[in-house]
Amino acid sequence: MRLPDKIITGTEKLVFYRRVRKLGVYPWQVQLIHPGQIQNNSFAAMNASAISLFAIFFACLTACSVGHEKQQTRSEAGVRAGNPVITGWYADPEGVIFDDTYWIFPTYSARYEKQVFLDAFSSKDLVNWQKHERIIDTSRVRWAHKAMWAPSVVKKGRLYFLFFSANDIQTPDRQMWDPAVNTVGEVGGIGVGVASRPEGPYEDYLQKPLIGEVYNGAQPIDQFVYLDEDGQYYMLYGGWGHCNIVKLAPDFRSLLPFEDGTLAKEITPEGYVEGPILFKRGDWYYLMWSEGNWGNHTYRVAYGRSNSLMGPFQKIATVLEADTTVATGAGHHSVINIPDTDDWYMVYHRRPIPNQDRDHRVTCIDRMYFDQEGNILPVRMTIEGVARRLLREEQ
């Protein structure tokens, strides 16, 4: 028997979250799926705990159906996305706008050996998200075999370029170095995929890493590509507490040296651990990054700003951190600015409460605001998420 399909909207998801929480179950422990995708043999494979969670879900869905019909008649401005905005364990989200569509490119949050692909999600309104599976994987990137992380996607001309890191390369001086697994000069680092559409499929653009060695002590991970006002593309990246900036060649096939001949400049601010992003607002360049330990509740986001792209960036404040009433371990984010407005959103991951696994991380969106002096105000994590917002008015 095939159950009738039902689309789970943002408002319906939020109502469900609230009802299921009253039953003593945390919403992120329940995976929202389309009922029509459930087959008879799926139930045979479930354990009793999983079946009970699905029962709770469908009971709550039925209980709120009458109320939801009324909600659908309200002004669409009242519809909210709910957090997390996408289903499943995903982290390190890159939020970006292409034409009239919002996109999220996250890391699949699992053990390194299972991180062999990347998914993407698209939405017209920040509320309803469509999943695009396996937009790139290790079958198309032959040098990568694990730990595909932190995608950063840009459009140049008619093509889309996806920058990613893979293989979690180590050096002998690092605690994670394992002679049984690691070798000096092992292949890994930051690679590039290319596609004709944002949802891919992406092919390996270089057949090798763009950056495959350690400069200035920065592990080649957590890349973020930034287009400056003069048309030059830069890339910020770096783990192990070091942040580098490099200049990309116009074809993205190599790095351009700076005037002194170096390929990578270190711009590490105080407290930096990983996950840099950069944007400009007014006359200021804002550098944001993650601090603490990605594997626990100490993860958080801080920022600094400078009048120069190259810094120096002095730390100003922490703007996203654990809230024991909502979630912990919030970090590795990106920001979305609605074109021609001063409206900003933070796209980030966080850990549900209780957090039952190192890789249980979910992707969320909340608003980001500035004060009159241009300082970023603390971002408030929410369960209800952001309001529905179209990039192009419906006809």
Q: Among residues 12, 92, 199, 366, which one is catalytic?
A: 92
Catalytic annotation on 274? yes
If asked whether residues 299 and 175 sit together in one domain, one would say yes
Tokens at 77, concatenated: 């401005």
Q: Among residues 125, 168, 274, 291, which one is catalytic?
A: 274
If asked whether residues 220 and 290 sit together in one domain, one would say yes
Instruction: Check residue 203 and report its DSSP letter.
Output: E
Note whether 299 and 331 are within 8 A (CB).
Answer: yes
The 3-class SS string of 318-381 reads EEECCECCCEEEEEEEEEEECCCCCCEEEEEEEECCCCCCCCCCEEEEEEECECCCCCECCCCC
pLDDT at 70: 30
Q: Which of 74, 101, 125 is the last residue of a domain?
A: 74
DSSP-based three-state secondary structure for 57 = helix
pLDDT at 76: 54
Q: Report CA-CA distances (Å) from 186 to 52, 105, 193, 216, 239.
A: 46, 27, 20, 18, 17
If asked whether residues 311 and 348 sit together in one domain, one would say yes
If asked whether residues 350 and 230 sit together in one domain, one would say yes
Note whether 69 and 339 are within 8 A (CB).
Answer: no
Element (H, E) at 63: helix 48-63
Q: Which of 218, 279, 212, 205 minimizes the C-alpha distance to 244?
A: 218
Q: Evaluate whether residue 83 is within a structural domain.
A: no
- Model confidence over 300-344: pLDDT tens digits? 999 999 999 999 999 999 999 999 999 999 999 999 999 999 999
Q: CA 27 to CA 31: how far, in whole Å?
A: 8
Q: How many residues does the chain have?
A: 395
Helices (H) and strands (E) in the chain, counts: 4, 20
Q: Evaluate whether residue 2 is within a structural domain.
A: no
Q: Evaluate whether residue 282 is within a structural domain.
A: yes
**pTM of this prediction?**
0.82
Beta bridge partners of 285: 280, 306
Q: Residue 278 maps to which CATH number?
A: 2.115.10.20
pLDDT at 78: 82
Note whether 132 and 142 are within 8 A (CB).
Answer: no
Count of the separate structural domains present in the chain = 2
Q: Tens-digit pLDDT profile for the chain (395 aa)? A: 333 333 344 545 554 554 444 444 444 444 443 333 333 333 333 344 443 444 444 444 434 333 333 332 223 558 999 999 999 999 999 999 999 999 999 999 999 999 999 999 999 999 999 999 999 999 999 999 999 999 999 999 999 999 999 999 999 999 899 988 888 889 999 999 999 999 999 999 999 999 999 999 999 999 999 999 999 999 999 999 999 999 999 999 999 999 999 999 999 999 999 999 999 999 999 999 999 999 999 999 999 999 999 999 999 999 999 999 999 999 999 999 999 999 999 999 999 999 999 999 999 999 999 999 999 999 999 999 999 999 987 65
Note whether 191 and 203 are within 8 A (CB).
Answer: no
If asked whether residues 198 and 334 sit together in one domain, one would say yes
DSSP-based three-state secondary structure for 42 = helix
- Model confidence over 262-293: pLDDT tens digits? 999 999 999 999 999 999 999 999 999 999 99
Q: Evaluate whether residue 374 is within a structural domain.
A: no
Catalytic annotation on 92? yes
If asked whether residues 50 and 165 sit together in one domain, one would say no
If asked whether residues 53 and 95 sit together in one domain, one would say no
If asked whether residues 223 and 304 sit together in one domain, one would say yes
Element (H, E) at 66: helix 65-71
If asked whether residues 98 and 44 sit together in one domain, one would say no
Q: Evaluate whether residue 356 is within a structural domain.
A: yes
If asked whether residues 269 and 300 sit together in one domain, one would say yes
Distance of CA 245 to the CA centre of its chain: 20
Tokens at 204, concatenated: 């390996």
Q: Evaluate whether residue 218 is within a structural domain.
A: yes
Q: Is the dihedral of CA 121, 124, 125, 129 positive or negative?
A: negative
- The boundaries of the domain holding residue 21 are 10-74
Give rounded-to-5 percent helix, strand, coil for the chain.
Answer: 15, 35, 50
Q: Evaluate whether residue 3 is within a structural domain.
A: no
DSSP assignment of 9-40: -HHHHHHHHHHHHHTT--GGGS----GGG--H
Q: Cis peptide before 106, with omega less than 30 degrees from 0?
A: no
Q: Which of 44, 74, 104 is the last residue of a domain?
A: 74
If asked whether residues 259 and 195 sit together in one domain, one would say yes
If asked whether residues 202 and 323 sit together in one domain, one would say yes
Q: Evaluate whether residue 261 is within a structural domain.
A: yes
